[in-house]
Amino acid sequence: MEETKKIKNTIILTTIICCVYLLLIIFYHHIDKNLSGVLYIFFTSLIPITFLTIIVFGIKGIIKVIKNRHNLNLKKCFPTIICSLTILYTFFSPYRLDSENLESKVELRACYEGTQNQAYILFREDKTFELNWTGVFGYNEWWTGKWQKKGNLLLLKYDDKNVEQPWRYNFNSKWLFKSHWKIS
């Protein structure tokens, strides 16, 4: 009776840890984009913690299966199966779920690579944009807003600013004429 309860608790704990890990990696784009400070650090550090926990649970489960191979049932193997499926999904699944797929398709993208920082900007079909600028020492900042094209000029209206910033764009040469951004 006690062993059944212990197995049930292990199954529940393993399932919770694997689900938390999968949710964090699926929604990482939005965690990175919308959270900052302590919450961002907490959720980002929770990813490797849960991953290492899954690895440890998986190894312990494999050892238990090998030791008890004469007295096995599916219920005893279930936590190991859950951990194994999570690891297989993480590394080998061609059908990766990603919360960025919930957003509008990208119409135009540009990137900038400096010596100690880089940035990319995505112009989406629903006329929104997102600019992610990252750099050394953990610098990571996001800007979002609306955009519109007038001739060879892109106008950006930031969500958190009242200014419009023009970007000259030559559609033949594929370069934005602001800090030498490369368009793809």
Q: DSSP string covering 59-93, please?
A: HHHHHHHHHTGGG--HHHHHHHHHHHHHHHHHHH-
- For residue 73, the model assigns a pLDDT of 84
First-residue to last-residue Cα distance in the chain: 62
**Mean pLDDT, rounded, for 83-108:** 89
Tell me the pLDDT tens digit for each residue of 6-20: 889 999 999 999 999
- For residue 164, the model assigns a pLDDT of 54
Rounded distance between C-alpha atoms, residue 128 and residue 61, angstroms? 47
- For residue 9, the model assigns a pLDDT of 93
What are the strands, taking DSSP E only, across the chain?
A: 106-113, 117-124, 128-135, 140-150, 153-158, 164-170, 175-176, 181-183
**Beta-bridge partner residues of 129:** 123, 145
87: its two tokens: 């690891």
Please check whether residue 82 is in contact with residue 91, taking contact to mean a CB–CB distance below 8 angstroms.
Answer: no
How many residues are recorded in the chain?
Answer: 184
* Mean pLDDT of the residues in the chain: 85
Question: Residue 172 pLDDT more than 60?
Answer: no
Rounded distance between C-alpha atoms, residue 138 and residue 116, angstroms? 11
CATH tag for 104-183 (out of 1.25.40, 2.60.120, 2.40.128, 3.40.50): 2.40.128
- For residue 125, the model assigns a pLDDT of 93
pTM of the prediction? 0.76
- For residue 158, the model assigns a pLDDT of 83
DSSP 105: P
Identify the band that residue 181 occupies on the pLDDT scale cut at 50, 70 and 90: low
